[in-house]
Amino acid sequence: MLLSLIRMVQAFREYQRNVAELSQLSDRELADIGLDRSDIPRVAAGHYNG
């Protein structure tokens, strides 16, 4: 149980890091990699199929 809690915390931290990093990109940079701002949460969570 403790191990699953640790994994959840690690996954949430990674999600936050990914969101922060992607959010720093300009709209142009996001478009260059085929993303829109609305895609950031999905991509950060690892659920992007674009």
pLDDT of 41: 96
- Residue 43's nearest CA partner among 27, 21, 26 is 21
pLDDT band, very low/low/confident/very high, at 48 (cuts 50, 70, 90): low
| 38 neighbors 23 (Cβ within 8 angstroms) | no
Q: Which position has the token pair 């199929």?
A: 49
pLDDT band, very low/low/confident/very high, at 25 (cuts 50, 70, 90): very high
Which pTM was predicted?
A: 0.83
Summarize the confidence of residues 14-18 as an average pLDDT: 95
pLDDT of 33: 96
Q: Which residues contact 19 (CB under 8 A, 6 or more apart)?
A: 40, 41, 44
pLDDT of 50: 59
pLDDT of 47: 75
Give 47's DSSP letter: -
